[in-house]
């Protein structure tokens, strides 16, 4: 098999193999790039509630009352707190909470939920799994490097690296270098 044909076969097969990982990493990459604008892993909703005044005397009784009157799932309760004499807070999953004024029953329920697909993409991209996934992510990087390098030599002549390809490669290298120079020059 000729070298250029082998390069095309490897490039094609690397590309097919990496499609799934590329999709997950791209979704997560775009989400994490905008972390200042939103939480890419979780969505938060706040709902006002108007419960009847709470009658419980103890923190346990107040918690039970909030759970029943607000229609919360008791299994979701992660704790409770009374930050001041007028307020009870019942903690919900992922940082959510039900915060209620004891005397009036007025309050809010803040629910925090994972964003489908984006949460899972972030778990993989940010390597929260650790262990064997670290090696999978490292292999992904090596395969992407292989994809980039085989792409350089797929074509020859004026459309290949010796022709117009060199200008695209140069632009692709200069883009991140230019941003790094700008970043360090403006610090």
**Mean pLDDT, residues 45-63 taken together:** 96
Q: In whole numbers, what is the pLDDT of the chain averaged over residues?
A: 95
The predicted structure's pLDDT at residue 170: 96
This prediction has a pTM of: 0.72
Strand order in the sheet with 106-114: 42-50, 106-114, 97-101, 87-91, 79-84
**Coil/strand/helix, residue 96:** coil
The predicted structure's pLDDT at residue 1: 66
Give the Å distances, CA to CA, from 100 to 9, 86, 116, 164: 64, 8, 30, 66
**Which region holds residue 185: left if phi is over 0, alpha if psi is between -120 and 50, else beta?**
alpha
pLDDT tens, position by position, 86-102: 999 999 999 999 999 99
Q: For residue 68, name the pLDDT band (cuts at 50, 70, 90).
A: very high
């Amino acid at each position: 098999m000729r070298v250029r044909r082998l390069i095309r076969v490897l490039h094609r097969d690397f590309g097919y193999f990496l499609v799934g990982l590329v999709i997950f990493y791209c979704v997560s990459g775009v989400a994490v790039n905008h972390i200042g604008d939103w939480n890419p892993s979780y969505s938060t909703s706040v709902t006002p509630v108007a419960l009847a005044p709470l009658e419980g005397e103890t923190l346990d009784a107040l918690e039970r009352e909030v759970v029943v009157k607000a229609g919360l799932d008791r299994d979701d309760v992660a704790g409770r707190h009374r930050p001041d004499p007028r307020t009870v807070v019942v903690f919900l999953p992922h940082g959510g909470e039900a915060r209620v004024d004891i005397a009036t029953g007025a309050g809010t329920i803040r629910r925090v939920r994972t964003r489908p697909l984006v949460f899972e993409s972030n778990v993989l991209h940010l390597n929260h799994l650790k262990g064997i996934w670290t090696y999978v992510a490292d292999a992904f990087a090596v395969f992407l490097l292989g994809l980039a390098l085989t792409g350089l030599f797929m074509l020859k002549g004026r459309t290949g690296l010796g022709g117009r390809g060199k200008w695209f490669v140069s632009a692709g290298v200069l883009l991140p270098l230019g941003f790094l120079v700008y970043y360090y020059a403006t610090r």
